Amino acid sequence: MARVIFWDVANGLPEGEPLIRWDLAWPLFLQGIEPGELPLEQPPLLNILGRWFWEQMGMLGGRLRPDAHETVWFVTPALSDGAREYLTRLASFWCDEVYWEVPTAITPNRWTIPAVNVGALPSTPLWTALTESYPEGIDRHLLPMIGVGRVFIKVQQVVEGSASARLHSHSAQDEYYFILAGSGTLRMGRYSQPVAPGTFIAKPTGPDLTSQIVADRGESVTILDIEVHADSRLAMGGRDMMAYTDHQEVLLVGAGMEGMVPQSAVRPTEDVFSHYFDGYVRAVDGSVIPCELPGHPKRDDG
């Protein structure tokens, strides 16, 4: 694929094809947001819109597709500066030439390298839109500006006296932390130790190991937080189970599933499988109520 050309829908539709209809996607994925503007303090919405584009572009081009189209038209509403940077960065993954207008001999190529200095993130309107502020700190999301894939990445500043998150584990993602600035305490499982700039921390999925970083050493802590999912769909509402061991809660989240159970309610599975074909109902306290179920005779523990 040679190039992407932006085209304002106010001028009708371009004669060429294929078209990426940003003018239609904007109200569909960013409901309530003025077309061509970016939502503030809602970075996940931009990731959802970016994933839609990623799938659309994947059907049209790619550097190993001999049938890739020479030109793809971005049909857009009138774009704010932040929205224009957003689309430019996404387009730059897929082609080597990006133009904000039909190119002439002097039209500049707007291609942008997919790189960012995590120690000094920009303050452009786009990066402002990718920022979330809350009493415990500030999150600056790097996706989808550095791609749409199986990772979730943010730079998190934790204010003094607060924590990066609850002490928690994940069942469906690896998690890594790199301390960029400040000092604090890493809690991992039953243990704690100081962390300082340059510390890299790994928490792969499988053991359900818990982690938390606490800014308890008289200053804020800035963390590069990286989550890696087994499936790219997991970063967009896929299912996960998190254990909050301080709070004694197990949280179930994801598409079509959301709930919480006390950790004390989790019991060994031996009884389930030893009575797999018996009929019974499990009560909230873990006891069983024998009964007949379709295809399962009433459980008899006598």
Shared domain check, 68 and 8 = yes
pLDDT of residue 233: 56
pLDDT one-digit tens code per residue, 165-181: 999 999 988 999 999 99
Based on the fold, state whether residues 285 and 209 are members of the same structural domain. no
In a domain, 123, yes or no: no
Looking at per-residue pLDDT, the higher value among 161 and 143 belongs to 161
Residue 143 in this model has a pLDDT that exceeds 90: no
The pLDDT score that the predictor gives to residue 300 is 96
Residue 75 belongs to some domain of the structure: yes
Position 120 in a domain: no
Asked if residue 117 has pLDDT above 70, the reply is: yes
Closest CA to 171 of 203, 210, 206, 211: 206
Query: Cα separation of 84 and 37, whole Å?
Result: 9
Calculate the CA dihedral of residues 254, 258, 262, 263 and round it to 10 degrees: -10
Tell me which of 90-104, 117-131, 193-207, 224-238 is least confident: 224-238
Q: Are 198 and 242 in the same domain?
A: yes
How many structural domains is the chain composed of?
Answer: 3
Please indicate, yes or no, whether residues 140 and 208 belong to a single structural domain of this protein.
yes
The count of residues in the chain is: 302
Q: Is pLDDT above 60 for 137? A: yes
* 148 and 233 belong to one structural domain: yes
Percent of the chain exceeding pLDDT 90 equals 77
Kindly write down the DSSP assignment for every residue of 9-68, as one continuous string. Answer: GGG---SSS-EEEHHHHHHHHSTTSPTT-PPSS-HHHHHHHHHHHHHHHHTT--TT-TT-
Tell me, rounded to whole angstroms, the distance of Cα 294 from its chain centroid. 42
Q: Which of 77, 99, 121 is the last residue of a domain?
A: 99
Q: Within a domain: residue 71?
A: yes
pLDDT, greater one: 237 or 87: 87
- 76-86 per-position pLDDT tens digit: 999 999 999 99
Question: What's the CATH code of the domain at 164?
Answer: 2.60.120.10
Q: What is the mean pLDDT of residues 109-136?
A: 92
Question: Which pLDDT tens digit goes with each residue over 209-221?
Answer: 999 999 999 999 9
Report angle CA 253, 259, 260 to the nearest 5 degrees: 110
Strand partners, 221: 158
Instruction: Determine, yes or no, domain membership for 225.
Output: yes
pTM for this prediction: 0.88
Q: What percent of the chain has pLDDT over 70?
A: 97
CA 46 vs CA 73, 155, 167: distances in Å: 20, 17, 28
Q: Across residues 154-170, what is the average pLDDT?
A: 97
* pLDDT of 202: 97
Q: Which of 165, 179, 171 is nearest to 246 (CA)?
A: 165
Are residues 251 and 276 located together in one domain of the fold? no
| 142, 239: one domain | yes
pLDDT digits (tens, 9 = 90+) for 40-55: 888 888 988 999 999 9
In terms of Cα–Cα distance, which of 278, 277, 251 is closest to 262? 251
Q: Which residue type sits at 219?
A: E
Range 92-100, long-range pairs (CB < 8 A, 24+ positions): 93/147, 94/1, 94/4, 94/57, 94/61, 94/62, 95/1, 95/2, 95/3, 95/4, 95/61, 96/2, 96/3, 97/2, 97/3, 97/4, 98/3, 98/4, 99/3, 99/4, 99/5, 99/6, 100/6
In a domain, 90, yes or no: yes
Do 178 and 290 fall within a single domain?
A: no
Q: Is the pLDDT of residue 235 over 70?
A: no
C-alpha closest to that of 159 among 223, 202, 224, 225: 223
Residues 247 and 287 in one domain: no
CA-based radius of gyration for the chain: 25
pLDDT at 284 over 70: yes
Structure tokens at 151: 């990772």
- Angle of helix 43-58 relative to helix 81-94, nearest 10 degrees, comes to 40
**Shared domain check, 47 and 24:** yes
CA atoms of 111 and 197, how far apart (whole Å): 33
Q: 156 and 83 share a domain?
A: no
Interacting residues of 298 by C-beta distance below 8 A, sequence separation 6+: 278, 279, 280, 290, 291, 292
Query: Residue 237: what pLDDT?
Result: 62
Res 231: pLDDT? 67
Domain region containing 41: 3-99
pLDDT at 151: 87
pLDDT recorded at residue 23: 98
- Regarding whether 138 and 253 lie in a shared domain, the answer is yes
Structure tokens, 249: 């809660």
Tokens (6 digits) for 140: 């600056």
